[in-house]
Structure 1
Amino acid sequence: MVFLLLLTTQTVFTRADDKPASPLSQAHAHNDYLHDRPLYDALDHGFNSVEADVFLVGDKLLVGHTLGETTPDRTLAALYLDPLRQRVRSGGGQVQPGGGPFRLFIDIKSSAEPTYAALTTLLASYSDMLSQVQDDKFQTCAINVVISGNRPQATMAAEKKRFAGIDGRLSDLNSDVASHLIPVISDNWKSHFQWRGAGEIPAEEKQKLRQWVRQAHADGRQIRFWGTPDTPPMWRVLQDSGVDMINTDDLPGLEKFLRDNRSNH
């Protein structure tokens, strides 16, 4: 029994090469479920944030990029919530040791209201590890859930008890909405910037990016962009500008970049 417990703990806190994966707070795994080992590959690379697309099929929340790619066994619970619960219980209440709350982005791809209703019921059964809001008071726990995609914003805003926040957009900057309701500002990089991650970013675009980051932080929110090319110059600009989550499909590439550049930030 003791041996099994130790083995479980070792599996949770070490990488495949037996080196500890210290947490990388800025590392966000975009479309995480497309990797060979959903969640686990990201954790092994030290990521503290992942994203999963979900579809409501019958009464199940299935994970996949498109509805046609979903299968009955690839549920949100099986791929993410259950292994995260095991990780939290084995890790003294944390997903990544010393990493602070882990971010789980759930991108709703099916109809917003029925999917969120099913998701709320599911999340309630994992309430022991989820940050939550009760009567407008935020309680931090091991995992912060953020709802993206088809977001039932009015429904979520009206809830007295809530296990997730809303993934906002740049249009939500300067909003007076509570930061626990919209904890993150996310948007499509290519809709707002011409620079594509090669050479130097134009000065006016760098200034615009930094202004948006400052405003998000002043409002108590984090910020990220999707559609950013996976290049070191892009990662450098995002890191230097204080973007909270660097979106990537290249787990080892971003890990290497962040670890090589950690001492300077």
Structure 2
Amino acid sequence: MNTDKILAPAVARASAVLDLLARTGRPATLAELARELQLPKSSLHGLCATLEHLNLITRLDGGQMVPGPHVMMWANAFMARLDITQEFFASWDDMRVLPEETITLSVRDGAEVVYIACRNGKHPLGLRFHAGMRLPAVYTATGLAMLSTLPDAGVRRLLDGLSGGWPAPLTDHGLRDTESVIAELRQIRQRQYSIDREAVREGMYCFGAPVFDSRNPEAVAGVAVSIRSLEANPALEERAGQAIRKLADRLSERLGAWRAQ
């Protein structure tokens, strides 16, 4: 873990511990944390004791650690800041377009998207979305929609600077390099919505659009609707794309967006 350019390395190490516990979704021992984060046990011992004292992690009977209850306070504060989740569901229901399909709301965290609200539809997609789920932005409809609001140079810096290299593909259909993503983003800007054709899951198409607030020229969130690829046809794809674009516009208005999309 490289903390050379970070002003407070201890904060960065604490964040790495919490990130790892959240990402794996299972309890971890001190030894596992040390191995995964490449940090000495002696440093982690004091760090984890402090996080436990602050209720940021909880130590189970067997000594394994999981995220603590104080983390939820931060999560709730973040959700309250967006003030968008309930509007997301209510607006989609009010539109009465593809009401039985899966819809998701996500935010971007660097080169990943984090799902913050999901309603899994009645039609099986082979994948169930859930809040807290993370996926590479370049493979998702919401991720591509949000990336399309960045300038090309910013996208290149983000993707070419990935420390772990290009994200591992989820299927055989995802984009494989930065220039392919740039070309796709230019199409999204013209079309006004993104399309993921089986890049996240075989048999699933997703259509996404960016959501804006009053302060940022770049998207603060993304919304998407997912359908089964077997049911896809040009008319349904256009309908799904326009519907998700309309939903994104409604949410942007709720957040006081400075421009109409």
TM-score by length of 2: 0.27
Could you say which structure has the higher helix fraction? 2
Greater gyration radius: 2
Higher relative CO (CA 8 A, sep ≥ 6), structure 1 or 2?
A: 1
Could you say which structure has the higher strand fraction? 1
